[in-house]
Structure 1
Amino acid sequence: MTPPLHLSLAGQAVEALRELVLTGEITPGARVNEVELAARLGISRGPLREAIRHLASEGLLVLVPHRGAHVPAANPADVRALFELRTALECAAAELAASRRTDVDVARLREVCAESRRSYQAGGRFPYRLDLAFHQALLDAARSPDIAGQVRLAQQRVILLRAGVRDDPPHQQASLDDHDALVAAVAAGDPSRASEAMRKHLARVCAQMLTSLA
Structure 2
Amino acid sequence: MMVDLVHTGLAGQAVAVLRELVLTGEIAAGERVNEVGVAQRLGISRGPLREAIRHLASEGLLVLTPNRGAHVPVTDNDGVRALFELRSALESAAARLAAERRTDADLAAMKEASAASREAFATGEFPYRLDLAFHRTLLDAARSPLVAEQVRLAQQRVILLRATKEVAFSHERASLDDHDALIEAITAHDGDRAGQVMAAHLARVRDQLLTTS
Specify the alignment match of 2:128 in structure 1. Answer: 128
- What is the deviation of 1:74? 3.0
Instruction: Kindly state the Cα deviation for residue 127 of structure 1 after the two structures are TM-superposed.
Output: 2.7
* RMSD of aligned alpha carbons: 1.0
Q: Deviations over 1:129-174 (max 9, x none)?
A: 1100000000000000000000001101111111111030111110
- Is residue 177 of structure 2 the alignment partner of residue 177 of structure 1? yes
The amino acid of 1:120's aligned partner reads F
* Runs of 4+ off more than 2 Å: none
Cα distance in 2, alignment partners of residues 212 and 23 from structure 1: 18
> Is the contact between residue 87 and residue 202 of structure 1 (CA under 8 Å) also seen in structure 2?
yes
Contact map agreement 1:87 1:199 (CA 8 A) in 2: yes
Q: Are 1:89 and 1:147, in contact at CA under 8 Å, matched by a contact in 2?
A: yes
Unaligned runs of at least 5 residues, structure 2: 1-7
Equivalent residues of 2:97, 2:142 under 8 A apart:
yes
SS of the aligned residue for 1:59 comes to: coil
- Cα shift readout 1:96-135 (whole Å, capped 9, x = no counterpart): 000000011111111111110011111x132311100000
1:39 — aligned with what? Answer: 40
In the TM superposition, what whole-angstrom CA distance separates every residue of 1:80-108 from its partner, at most 9, and x where no partner exists? 11100000100000000000000111111
Following superposition of structure 1 onto structure 2, how do residues 1-214 of structure 1 map, counting pairs within 5 Å?
Answer: 8-122=9-123, 124-213=124-213
Contact 1:60–1:160 under 8 Å retained in 2 = yes
Question: Is the CA contact 1:74–1:164 (under 8 Å) kept in the aligned structure 2?
Answer: no
State the distance in 1 between where 2:160 and 2:24 align: 8
**Could you state the TM-score of these two structures normalised by the residue count of structure 2?**
0.94
- 1:77 deviates by 1.3
Local SS of the residue matching 2:14 = helix
Secondary structure at the counterpart of residue 24 of structure 1: coil
The TM-score with structure 1 as length reference comes to: 0.94
- Which residue identity does 1:10 align to in structure 2? A
- The answer to whether the Cα contact below 8 Å between 1:80 and 1:206 also exists between their aligned partners in 2 is yes
* 8 A contact 2:167–2:212 mirrored in 1: no
Share of identical aligned residues, percent?
Answer: 67
2:195 and 2:39 map into 1 onto residues whose CA distance is: 44
Q: Which residue of 2 aligns with 1:4?
A: none
Q: Distance in 2 between matches of 1:56 and 1:167?
A: 26
